[in-house]
Amino acid sequence: MQIPENELPRELTPEQAVEAAYASELADVADRVRRGLPALVECDKDLSLFIYMNLRARLKQANLQCVLIDGRQRAQSDTSGIPLGFLATMIAQIRDAVRGSVERKVLVLPHLDLLTTSQGGLTTEAREVIPLLYENPDLVWLGLKDPSFPLPSVIENLFPHRVSLFGIARPRLRHLVTQKEARKLGTHFNPWTLYKHVSGINAVRLRKLLASLDGEDYPADARKAYAQIRQATLTGTLEMPNVALEADIGGYAKVKERLRKEIIDVLAMKDRLTREDDIKHIEELIPKGMIFWGPPGTGKTLFAKAMASALGAAITVVSGPELKSKWVGESEQNLRQIFQRARQSAPAIIVFDELDSFATARGTYEGSGVEHSMVNQLLTEMDGFHRDELVFVVGTTNFVESLDPALLRPGRFEFHLYIPYPDADDRRAILEIYDRKMNLRMTPAAFDHVVKRTGDPVEGAAAGTRYSGDHLNALCRSLARYRLRESVNGPTEPADIDRVLTEWIERPKLTAAEERVVATHEAGHAVCALFSEHATPIERISIQADTAGALGFVRYQDPAHRYVVTRAELLDDLCILMGGREAEALLLNDISIGSTSDLQRATAIARALVEEFGLGGEGVPVCRFRDDITGGVRVLSQMQMEALDRRTAELIESARSRAATILREQRSVVEVLRDMLIECKVIDAKTLAKVVGR
């Protein structure tokens, strides 16, 4: 697609540029007007005067007179001596043109947006104008409308023919660049490369932009010139991010690979193509709408910024709640303006953060109903995309299941990228980045320790909340503050990690007797785990109350099998859960209420074995199950229900008896662990192995 320099124009006026860019569209508008059909042209304000001049010249050839109703006062018409305002003058001009006309004319309205509010309603003055617009059927109206302002139906209905002149068609770009300007863009001018950066700006604005290019002719590297163009096209809140997918985002190898292979690499391939058919084929394959979903804090917006950086695209991050307005129509107007600015700054990415805040399934709203209109407007804007426009929409959400199904169909938000909580490898990679950026100087042992510690639920957060990238960032910043506060210049050790994690936790002050009960309880769990064949190895035992809702705990290593769970493993889990209360009964001759949660979990596992999995172990496997239609639990016979309850109780009693047997046989080990916990508070895997020899 390289164009020889001598085939480019030497000079271009704005009028010539408009003709070169929009000739077919303007010829169609002029033809409709000649045949008596009112027409509406949607274009940017800085383009409207040149559009009018072009159409006036075309209509003059057909002996049609154009009357420009622009609100400017004419000296000969000012007889009162009292100057009228701009809008009042425009209304007076409309009245004079409509009621004084005796011949066929074309009345041109270049400022239709002045008759409407920002929400698309009619202004007070416009109510006086509307009857005039329909009064004289012999007149032909030609309107020019800014795309930022919606028109009410009563005005739109006046124009049966509408055309939108937005941006530039790719094949016409070669006619809008002069020879002098092409020299600033490298040795060989390729309009397809330039189009990526200017697809959303109009011909007049493009001419101003290209005329302002500086730098040497025929540069070996044209990136400086393209950077000037890129900076000049940024509008509103759009910015150029600088986030490297590999260097600035740790872990998430599969997420990165999919994003790279399905989006970034495909677009890079398009930039290398030279045949128009090949480029159009690639553009048909690229999804313009994407959903990045997953738990809070996992980096959904960061991935969008990394994608923008890789594509050289501008980005704007829009919060869903910020779009909503109590004024009718203003929320939809906010959406229109966001899309318009993104198109003018293409290539661009619009990120709707918390998309579910307004794009939940229609019919489920409990608010004012503005969400319904916002979803419709969003769908309208996305359906209006042209394939050669490099504008992408990314919606981030924690609740993808709540989104309106119309958004998720192919052609809209068809690319779904799940970004989960980071696993151990991801957490290590994220921590390595923060360690380098914050100069934390973590030792290998500290890395291992913090990766394991952050595998637990987050202290003080909602139940089930695990460590995300944001939590790891907060942890590292806390560690950096601690090092600064304590003037720590050496490496960060595991003890420093523990101090930062637990320094501000409100721990209960246990008496010696209470501490003995907790230590006995946790030692019972640990010994049952050590002597159960299918149990997961222990990583850490603590009675420091440094886990939310627990005076002590036994933490286990990541299981070897994450997706296949056997009956033997679940029976071992039952035994371990019963170990705490049985240790108390054995060594203290009493049982505390601290074993309540253990008993609840054991009951849930036993019921699941019997009632859900059919693994009760006696006779024919019978289980209760949920009806897919009603969602309710299908009721078995009374005899079968009693059998299931009886078998559940038998499993729990069997686990209790087994735990009691293990603890009696290993009483000395239980006592040693109990005493060590009282003294040291924490026992790690290495120390545990030395004590019990396994």
Q: What is the SS3 assignment for 480?
A: helix
pLDDT of residue 633 exceeding 80, the answer is: no
Least trusted range by pLDDT, from 180-184, 329-333, 446-450, 637-641: 329-333
Which phi and psi (to 5°) does residue 401 adopt?
-70, -15
**Angle between helix 469-485 and helix 494-502 axes, rounded to 10 deg:** 100
Top pLDDT among 131 and 81 is at 131
As given in the structure block, the two tokens for residue 477 are 């910043």
Overall average pLDDT of the 200-227 stretch: 88
- pLDDT for 29: 94
Overall average pLDDT of the 402-429 stretch: 87
Overall average pLDDT of the 485-507 stretch: 85
289: closest CA among 409, 166, 418, 167? 409
pLDDT of residue 5 exceeding 90, the answer is: no
CA distance 5 to 613: 75
Highest mean pLDDT among 273-287, 319-333, 363-377: 273-287
- pLDDT for 135: 81
CB neighbours of residue 498 within 10 Å = 17
pLDDT tens for 283-315 read: 788 888 899 999 999 999 999 999 999 988 889
Domains in the chain (CATH in brackets) are 1-223 (3.40.50), 253-418 (3.40.50.300), 424-502 (1.10.8), 512-692 (1.20.58.760)
pLDDT of residue 201 exceeding 60, the answer is: yes
As given in the structure block, the two tokens for residue 363 are 């019919």
pLDDT of residue 123 exceeding 80, the answer is: no
CA distance 332 to 347: 23
Q: What is the SS3 assignment for 590?
A: coil
pLDDT of residue 424 exceeding 80, the answer is: yes
pLDDT of residue 629 exceeding 50, the answer is: no
pLDDT of residue 330 exceeding 80, the answer is: no
- pLDDT for 462: 67
Burial of 525: CB neighbours in 10 Å, binned 0-12, 13-18, 19+: buried
β-bridge pairing 161-164 and 391-397: unpaired
Contacts of 387 (CB under 8 A, 6+ apart): 280, 283, 284
Please give the span between the terminal C-alpha atoms of the chain, in angstroms, as a whole number: 71
pLDDT of residue 252 exceeding 90, the answer is: yes
Q: Find the radius of gyration of the CA atoms of the chain.
A: 36
600: closest CA among 567, 626, 574? 574
CA distance 41 to 111: 11
Overall average pLDDT of the 118-144 stretch: 78
pLDDT of residue 619 exceeding 80, the answer is: no
Look up residue 23 and give its amino acid: A
As given in the structure block, the two tokens for residue 141 are 């109206």
Overall average pLDDT of the 428-440 stretch: 94
* Residues 356/399, Cβ–Cβ less than 8 Å: yes
CA distance 437 to 95: 69
Q: What is the SS3 assignment for 94?
A: helix
Overall average pLDDT of the 417-437 stretch: 93
Look up residue 590 and give its amino acid: D
As given in the structure block, the two tokens for residue 305 are 């910024």
- pLDDT for 574: 94
CA distances from 432 to 124, 211, 252, 421 (A): 63, 47, 14, 17
* Residues 358/374, Cβ–Cβ less than 8 Å: yes
- pLDDT for 624: 64
- pLDDT for 603: 93
CA distance 380 to 406: 11
Top pLDDT among 23 and 457 is at 23
β-bridge pairing 413-418 and 289-293: parallel
Overall average pLDDT of the 105-132 stretch: 77
Look up residue 610 and give its amino acid: V
As given in the structure block, the two tokens for residue 402 are 């709540």
- pLDDT for 363: 59
Look up residue 677 and give its amino acid: L
49: closest CA among 66, 35, 74? 66
pLDDT of residue 75 exceeding 80, the answer is: no
pLDDT band at 362 (very low <50, low <70, confident <90, very high): low
Least trusted range by pLDDT, from 279-288, 451-460, 469-478, 544-553: 544-553
Q: What percent of the chain has pLDDT over 70?
A: 88
427: closest CA among 362, 497, 487? 497
CA distance 662 to 531: 7
Least trusted range by pLDDT, from 386-390, 473-477, 655-659: 386-390
As given in the structure block, the two tokens for residue 547 are 């886990």
Q: Which residues are catalytic?
A: 522
Top pLDDT among 107 and 644 is at 107
Q: What is the SS3 assignment for 290?
A: strand
Burial of 72: CB neighbours in 10 Å, binned 0-12, 13-18, 19+: exposed
CA distance 24 to 16: 14
pLDDT, the chain, mean: 84
What pTM value is reported for the model?
0.77
pLDDT tens for 147-199 read: 877 788 888 888 999 998 888 888 898 899 999 988 988 888 888 888 888 88
Least trusted range by pLDDT, from 71-80, 279-288, 345-354, 598-607: 71-80
pLDDT of residue 548 exceeding 60, the answer is: no
pLDDT tens for 484-494 read: 998 888 899 98
- pLDDT for 1: 64
CA distance 322 to 338: 12
357: closest CA among 329, 391, 331, 393? 331
pLDDT of residue 550 exceeding 80, the answer is: no
